[in-house]
Amino acid sequence: MTKLQISDVTLTFGGLNALTGVSITIEPGLITSIIGPNGAGKTSILNCISGFYHPTEGRILYGERELSNASPHQVSTIGIARAFQNLELFRGLSVLDNLLLARHQNLRYSLFHALLFFGKASRLEAENREYVEKVIDFMELEPYRKKMVGNLSYGVQKRVEMARALTLAPKLVLLDEPMAGMNIEEKEDVVRFIIDLKMEWDITVVLVEHDLGVVMDISDYIYVLDFGELIGAGTPEEVAADPKVIEAYIGEE
Amino acid sequence: MSQREQLLNLTIPQLLRWRVRETGDKVALREKDFGRWNCYTWDQYYSSVRQTGLGLTQIGFAKGDKIAVISDNIPEALFMAIGAQAVGGLSVAIYQTSLPDEIEGILNYLGVSVVFCNDQEQVDKVVDVRDKIPGVKKVIYEDPRGMRSYRSDSWFMDIEEVYRRGGDLHRRQPDLFDELIDKGAVDDVCHFCLTSGTTGLPKGAMLTHRNYINMGLQLTEVDPLEESDEYVSFLPFAWIGEQMNSFGVAMATGIAINFPESVETSMEDLKEIGPHFMFGAPRIYETIRSQIWLKMDESYWFNRVVYNYFMKIGEKAAGYRMSGQQMPGKLRFLAWLGKQMIFRPLVNQIGFLRLRRAYTGGAALGPELFTFYQAIGVNLKQIYGQTEIVGIAYMHRDGDVRPDTVGKPLPGTECRISDDGEILSRSASVTPGYYNLPEKTEELLEGGWLHSGDAGYIDESGHLVVIDRISDVMHTAAGDMFSPMFLENRLKFSPYIKEAVIFGNQKPFVAALVNVDPIVVGKWAEDRGLSYSTYMELSCLPEVAELVKKEIVSINDNAEQAHFGIHRFALLYKLLDMDDGELTKTGKIRRKFVREKYSDLYEALYERDVTEKKVEAFYQYQDGQTTTVKTTIHFYTMEVTIQEHPILSHLSLLE
């Protein structure tokens, strides 16, 4: 399994430093959380990993592979998928179509095959559908399979967003606030999904989440950001006891 | 010997083996999984049962042992139950919604040694009470998801392992399973069906192979089924309503059983299958009707005009159809036109296009609903029976559907009304009694008749009319009798009312606590720009109260007697729920419990000058967290008028 190494990454927008010399190691097979107050740079880190931003300085390595200047498309083909905080789904398509569409990069058949829908075309489509169905089963989306995404409740849409990332069959998945705006029951479900991802699908999880209760409960390792700088790292117990972290969250006495 | 008699002399596993010889290649079961319908032929069904049965013997399950099935509707639940029966064991199905304590009570009461769970959720409940169920030797699970931490513990076993061991044994001793099956006798008890019980721990009604198969044969003597017919299994397996179909009807007729993908998708999956017959509690039919109502309301004006016009025609035609009379030519043409233009597509949308018969049972259904379904061309019929007589003993015949009755007895079922007005029945499907409860059994089967506990009478055309539970019939302070269930059903026919609880025993008048329907009323409120965010806020809206008041006024206007009228009502701030103990597992109201839980509201209903009351609503979430919300409940007083009705003369029987 592959390790993701972020070394000394700085990201600047004009005069603004979104990230300053951040070094993070994502160990394979674990749930690693990145927490911090609003504007701390959590999503910027994810954007750097997934190729939406390129770090101004520093390197990002996935195994031997250099990701610092890779495009989102390239990142997704090497097994890193991402679920967005603000849903990036086609609201006018069904859940099933959204998920099938996410696997379009696996469709490598010609227009000729597509028109007649035989041989490779029908075989690949069947394989894709089978994989998508596995994800639907895993994320318990059966009741919504043929429903239009735009008509679903927010909690379910978030689940579809996570499912869309999983249909790429990633080795590492970046979850950007998968539980935001959910009620307690929906959160419990998502927590279960995340743990099962790690335990049963052997997927490495990078979690950005505001619900500290959840983060402390399920993370193997936590990084804490504040104003673009790494201010703490460690196991949940270590982070909870770190005075710098407490200060960033609660403020000075 | 005719084929029927031949079948009556077979146990359920023997009958399954017989089916394999007759139609081994035909589809017996179908299950939706990963979005696809997977088929099991009778042959595969039988070999799965064989593997399961033999596998069970390999883990020490022997003749007379008991297996509990706590599972959603999946083929494996049937494999487990019938597999256990094949090797001389007994099965019991427990509701998936049961809490750990209830499960513990049932397992200990029946002396269960093996438990089958479909997933981690159910396994966890059994694990919760592990220390208190020493008799349980193995817990078998179907879905391995989330079971990783249990794998090292030999108390748990994957169903695949059971299959493997059973398959191995079959290879070593190919005749063993046949020998085991042959040892079964038709009058052996094969399954315990838990009676839902509106009070206390459920009782285990012992049911024999003959009980089930007789019921299936008698039912199909009235309403024949073809081997090519389809049935969708979506009722809880612990309910007799599901067992009578999967053990009784399917075995007796060879129809195919279809298992939905999940509980939530069952209505969608039903559309894909298009069953030929179905059975359900009134709730299902009420929900479907509400959905139709809602969707029609959202539709554009032309659709609505056509729908409303043909609905009237349909209702008129339904009157003729239900009574088996010849329709006048013009009506027949218009009814045909309505069917082609609107009702056929509509019925197709809900998946009922191929449905020849739909049965409702378990509780009474409002007369208006019968007319509604018959009007759109769904042949909905009432059945009546109870767990102790394998579900169905009385039923409407085609062309003789009367909303106020439950029809005539099935062939081979005798019916008598006791001197106290209680309905008594006798047939080959009557249980030999409750497990280990000789006194209750004695009460139940006193004098060789099955005592239903329901008050009823047989009318001049031979139809049975059920009034209510004898113990539920109430009297007002003035001594006037009324049936709370009868009045509740009246209320529930209103699309806006989801649930209602009627009070008035030894009180000056009848009063009700009402649950508005969150979907229908929610939409109604949205259409009128009334804002709300929770169910509590919705039911506290004064406009909603006015809406319900209007409904109750019209119900009161049609009340048969003055004391049937509802004088006061209040809208309850939460939906009555099984998990809170307010409803039974089959959705009946636990009247006494509700009255005690909402005692302050109950008292305020009978203080005429109280118009509002502050209450604290207490909620418990799944994770055990609790919150208390303060709200104000309003009470409304009504005017009441009078009419006469035939049911009353029979109510006096009970006095």
**pLDDT above 70 coverage of chain B, percent:** 96
Given a cut of 80, whether residue B648 has pLDDT beyond it is no
Alpha-carbon distance values, B396 to B366, B375, B403 (Å): 15, 17, 9
Joined tokens for residue B165: 């061991």
Question: Domains plus CATH for chain A?
Answer: 1-79+170-253 (3.40.50.300), 89-169 (no CATH)
Q: In the predicted model, what is the mean pLDDT of residues B486-508? A: 86
Q: What is the pLDDT of residue B623?
A: 63
Nearest C-alpha of chain A: how many angstroms from B624?
A: 11
Instruction: Decide if A188 and B146 are in contact by the 8 Å CB cutoff.
Output: no
* Residue ranges of E strands in B161-269: 189-194, 204-208, 230-232, 256-259
- State the pLDDT confidence band at B445, using cuts at 50, 70 and 90: very high
Would you say residue A93 has pLDDT above 60?
yes
What integer pLDDT is reported at residue B624 of this predicted model? Answer: 67
User: Has residue B644 got a pLDDT over 50?
Assistant: no
pLDDT at B654: 47
Residue A145 and residue B625: Cβ atoms within 8 Å?
no
What's residue A115's pLDDT?
78
Chain B positions touching A136 (Cβ under 8 A) are: 34-35
SS3 at position B388: helix
Tens digits of per-residue pLDDT, B53-64?
999 999 999 999
Q: A19 forms bridges with which residues in the sheet?
A: A11
For A6-60, the pLDDT digits (tens) are 999 999 988 888 999 999 999 999 999 999 888 888 999 999 999 999 999 999 9
Answer yes or no: are the C-beta atoms of B211 and B240 closer than 8 Å.
no
Q: What domains, with CATH codes, occur in chain B?
A: 3-276 (3.40.50.12780), 283-353+357-469 (3.40.50.12780), 474-647 (3.30.300.30)
Strands of B150-224, DSSP E = 156-158, 189-194, 204-208
Q: Reply yes or no on whether the pLDDT at A249 is more than 80.
A: no
pLDDT of residue B649: 47
What residues of A are in contact with residue B265 (Cβ under 8 Å)? 142-143
Q: Which tokens hold the place of B345?
A: 């597509």
Please compute the mean of the pLDDT values over residues B498-520 and round it to a whole number: 90
pLDDT value at residue B200:
65
Confidence of residue B45 (pLDDT cuts 50, 70, 90): very high
Which residues on B lie below 8 Å from A145 (Cβ)? 35
- Around B402, how many Cα atoms within 13 Å sit in the side-chain half-sphere? 17
Q: Flag whether pLDDT at B275 surpasses 70.
A: yes
Is pLDDT at B491 greater than 90 in this prediction?
A: no
Does residue B552 register a pLDDT over 50? Answer: yes
Q: Quote the pLDDT of residue B621.
A: 67
Report how many Cβ contacts below 8 Å link chain A to chain B: 37
Asked whether the beta carbons of A29 and A206 are under 8 A apart, the reply is: no
Q: What percent of chain A has pLDDT over 90?
A: 58
Question: What interface predicted TM-score (ipTM) does this complex get?
Answer: 0.84
User: What region does A68 belong to: left with phi over 0, alpha with psi -120 to 50, or beta?
Assistant: alpha
Cβ <8 Å between A185 and B621: yes
Q: Residue B32: closest CA among chain A residues belongs to which residue?
A: A142
A chain contacts of residue B148, beta-carbon cutoff 8 Å? 199-200
